[in-house]
Homo-oligomer: A and B are copies of this chain.
Amino acid sequence: MPSQPFHGVLVPVLTPFTRSGDPDAGRFVAFCRWLLDQGAGGLSVFGTTSEANSMSGSERMALLDRLIEAGIPADKLMPGTGACSMTEAASLVQHAVGHGCGGVLMLPPFYYKPVSDDGIFAFVSGVIDKVASPALRVYLYHIPPVAQVGYSLDLVGRFITAYRETVVGLKDSSGDWSNTAALLERYPGFAVFPGSEVFLLDALRKGGAGCITASGNVNVPGIHRVYDNWRGPQADALQAEATALRKALQAYPMVPALKRIVAHFHNDPDWAAVRPPMLPLDEAQSQALIADLAKLGFTLGERPRSMAA
């Protein structure tokens, strides 16, 4: 297996919008920098949590340009390149490779259903062959609850065989631990990241590379402590704390909830804006969420108070 540059807690970064509904590059750059300062092992900008598919390709590329201009290290970036057309996917991948990004996170084509493994293979391999760069590192993005189309275990093996130097990892957002476990068992050395920190400790114990998780937007420190201490005696207790926060978040629509938390703790109400078809939390939901977090002793960017002693 080739070396791959990502380990630890990767964050699918929230995308802030201005009051007129445009991506807010200034807030985005600042937030990315803050996440890296918190210890994020990489930034999966333009993932599902980023509302990437509510942005055009050119909006995504303009934001990536701004990150690079601002000095965010390209090797820490794993932009999502989700698109239904090979044409657009190849443009997004080419753009990321051109900036020297550490990798790309690639959805399968997600409009047509059902599609065959052969059809998905033709799509992804067509994109890889078109970009034709030895610098390209592809992480397959498996998220069937949203995309409905996914990468089967066998299909992952076909990619590893055909593109050993290029297809180096996978984000498993199936929510199905048995799938993550099977990937780790069948493809040792292939970088598997569960899509939730709930599975982080279990994944690390089977050779996983870390996790790529929405809640990383508000809890890099808490999740990172699991990663740092997974061989130690506190591992299960640290995992339980991280899981407790995740479960609290999951009581709400995830992206609006995360944005509400950032807005609340940064005292910046505009951060709560989402793009349709998502909607912001209403006032009652917002208050309930903040109250739920208070019960857990949560403060953005710090260790939960319950762990501070």
Q: Are A276 and B87 in contact (CB under 8 A)?
A: no
Kindly report which residue of chain B lies nearest to residue A147, judged by CB atoms.
B111
**A85 contact from B53, B109, B115, B119, Cβ within 8 A:** B53
Q: A55 in the interface, Cβ–Cβ < 8 Å?
A: yes
User: Interface size of A by Cβ–Cβ distance < 8 Å?
Assistant: 40
With A86-B276, A122-B277, A276-B86 known as contacts, the answer to whether A110 contacts B112 (CB < 8 A) is no
Report the Cα distance A120→B278, complex, angstroms: 8
Nearest chain B residue, comparing its CB with the CB of A148? B148
A85 CB to closest chain B CB, in angstroms? 5
A71 at the interface (CB under 8 A from B): no
Cβ of B55 and Cβ of A87 under 8 Å apart? yes
CB pair A113 B276 closer than 8 Å: no
Residue from A56, A57, A83, A123 having most chain B Cβ neighbours under 10 A: A56
- List chain B residues, Cβ under 8 A from A122: 276-277, 279
In the complex, whether A118 has a CB less than 8 A from a CB of chain B is yes
Quote the shortest CB–CB distance from A307 to chain B (angstroms): 34
Residues of B contacting A123 with CB < 8 Å? 276-277
Asked if A54 and B112 make an inter-chain contact with CB atoms under 8 angstroms apart, the answer reads: yes
Q: Which of A54, A57, A277 is the most central at the interface, judged by chain B CB atoms within 10 Å of its CB?
A: A277
A108 in the interface, Cβ–Cβ < 8 Å?
A: yes
User: Do B146 and A111 touch across chains, with their CB atoms under 8 A apart?
Assistant: yes
B148 pairs with A112, CB closer than 8 A: no
Q: Are A116 and B279 in contact (CB under 8 A)?
A: yes
Question: Closest CB-CB distance, A175 to chain B, in whole Å?
Answer: 13
Known A-B contacts A111-B146, A111-B147; A54 and B277 likewise in contact (beta carbons under 8 Å): no
A98–B167 Cα distance when bound, in Å, is 43
